């Protein structure tokens, strides 16, 4: 279905939440093929590979909120349409998600303005949209030490078990993003002193960093390399059920599935890859490490982002709840 049909996709995209909203009419993309990339392609091209999927998702939500399907001629977006998209995003999504959607709209309009597809006055009106207020409940959770011990215990024997133990050790011991984990090679873990360094060469925003880790990570790396064998290629590769190594790097989705499988075996509830980063940050902050240092280890550009990873307050709140007794017979 092309945008020229102007068929609303609101009820299909978010049933029960946006069905009442009238259709917006963003101008459709011209039917003739063009050799010059449009603003959306240029905007996505300037992002790091790990950020493109999220940005494309957010632009897709903008189009959904406008009631359209397919590529948009973003340079034809008007301030009134941007206001409508902002309002519907605020209504349909949590504040953080809605803010990210509006930020993506501003960003693609900025590119449209820079390449001459949008008038400067219209672009500056869109950039002047007020922020979306409110705070969402914190996402993710802290994985307690006992739960982490159970996850390690759930790793099997053989090469697959060695690989999974190293996967857990790097996620929880270095706080890496799953894309960063998948990009590691053998040369990216280097022995240093009593421990090791994990070298992230292609972090978010194309920023590299070096994360010191304990001796356990180095020991598990050597154990896994005994099964994998030395040489170039991905550090963590897929392992068949028969214990054969494929040589193919684990994907981000494979990392998520491995954690889900291990959590189910260990009986510790849902554990996601980003929960490891939250737990890593919380443990460091709990031990008095400066917030700026934690931000640098996580590869955050802002300490405000790092502060959002702190789950110590939730643990304290649960401990406080246990102190409250109610005069009721159960």
- On whether both 122 and 155 belong to a single domain, the answer is no
Domain membership of residue 44 (yes or no) is: yes
- On whether both 104 and 153 belong to a single domain, the answer is no
pLDDT value at residue 15: 37
Q: What is the mean pLDDT of residues 108-131?
A: 92
Tell me, what CATH number does 185's domain have? Answer: 1.10.443.10
pLDDT digit string, tens, across residues 135-190? 665 667 888 889 999 999 999 888 889 999 999 999 999 999 988 999 998 889 98
Active centre residues (catalytic): 177, 204, 274, 277, 300, 309
Cα–Cα distance, 69 to 318 (Å, whole number): 45
Interhelix angle for 145-153 vs 158-174, to 10°?
A: 160
Higher pLDDT pick, 17 / 185: 185
pLDDT value at residue 14: 40
pLDDT digit string, tens, across residues 276-314? 999 998 888 888 888 888 888 888 888 878 777 776 666
3-state SS, 59-86, equals: HHHHHHHCCCCCCECHHHCCHHHHHHHH
- On whether both 118 and 183 belong to a single domain, the answer is no
Higher pLDDT pick, 75 / 13: 75
Domain membership of residue 42 (yes or no) is: yes
- On whether both 118 and 165 belong to a single domain, the answer is no
The rounded mean pLDDT for the chain is 81
Q: Give the whole-number percent of the chain exceeding pLDDT 70.
A: 81
**Total domains present in the chain:** 2
Last residue of a domain, one of 71, 99, 127: 127
Q: Provide the residue range defining the domain that includes 104.
A: 3-127
pLDDT digit string, tens, across residues 238-283? 887 777 887 788 888 999 999 999 999 999 989 999 999 999 988 8
pTM of the model: 0.66
- On whether both 155 and 112 belong to a single domain, the answer is no
Cα–Cα distance, 219 to 197 (Å, whole number): 12
User: Which of 235, 276, 272 lies closest to 257, judged by CA?
Assistant: 272
User: Which of 199, 196, 166 lies closest to 180, judged by CA?
Assistant: 199
- On whether both 155 and 121 belong to a single domain, the answer is no
What confidence category does residue 94 fall into, taking pLDDT thresholds of 50, 70 and 90? confident
pLDDT at residue 204 above 60? yes
Burial class of residue 34, CB neighbours in 10 A (0-12, 13-18, 19+): exposed
């Amino acid at each position: 279905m092309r945008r020229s049909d102007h068929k609303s996709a609101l009820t299909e995209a978010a049933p029960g939440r946006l069905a009442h909203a009238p259709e917006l009419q963003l101008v459709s993309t011209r039917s003739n093929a063009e050799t010059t990339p449009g603003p959306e392609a240029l905007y996505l091209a300037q992002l790091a590979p790990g950020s493109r999927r999220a940005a494309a998702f957010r632009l897709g939500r903008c189009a959904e909120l406008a009631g359209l399907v397919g590529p948009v001629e973003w340079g034809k977006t008007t301030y009134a349409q941007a206001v409508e998209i902002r309002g519907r995003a605020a209504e349909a999504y949590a504040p953080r998600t809605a803010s990210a959607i509006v930020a993506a709209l501003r960003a693609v309009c900025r590119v449209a303005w820079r390449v001459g597809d949008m008038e400067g006055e219209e672009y500056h009106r869109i950039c002047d949209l007020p922020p979306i207020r409110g705070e969402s409940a914190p996402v993710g959770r802290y994985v307690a030490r006992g739960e982490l011990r159970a996850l390690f215990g759930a790793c099997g024997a053989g090469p697959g078990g060695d690989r999974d133990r190293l996967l857990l050790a790097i996620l929880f011991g270095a706080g890496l993003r799953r894309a960063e984990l998948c990009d590691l090679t053998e040369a990216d873990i280097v022995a240093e002193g009593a421990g090791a360094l994990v070298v992230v060469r292609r972090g978010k925003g194309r920023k590299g960093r070096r994360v010191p880790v304990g001796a356990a990570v180095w020991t598990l790396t050597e154990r896994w390399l005994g099964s994998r064998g030395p040489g170039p290629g991905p550090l963590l590769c897929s392992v068949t059920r028969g214990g054969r190594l494929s040589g193919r790097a684990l994907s981000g989705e494979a990392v998520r599935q491995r954690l889900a499988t291990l959590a189910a075996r260990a009986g510790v509830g849902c554990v996601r890859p980003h929960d490891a980063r939250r737990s890593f940050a919380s443990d460091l902050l709990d031990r008095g490490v400066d917030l700026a240092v934690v931000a640098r280890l996580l590869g955050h550009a802002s300490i405000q982002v790092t502060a959002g990873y702190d789950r110590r307050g939730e643990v304290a709140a649960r401990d406080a709840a246990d102190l409250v007794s109610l005069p009721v017979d159960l």
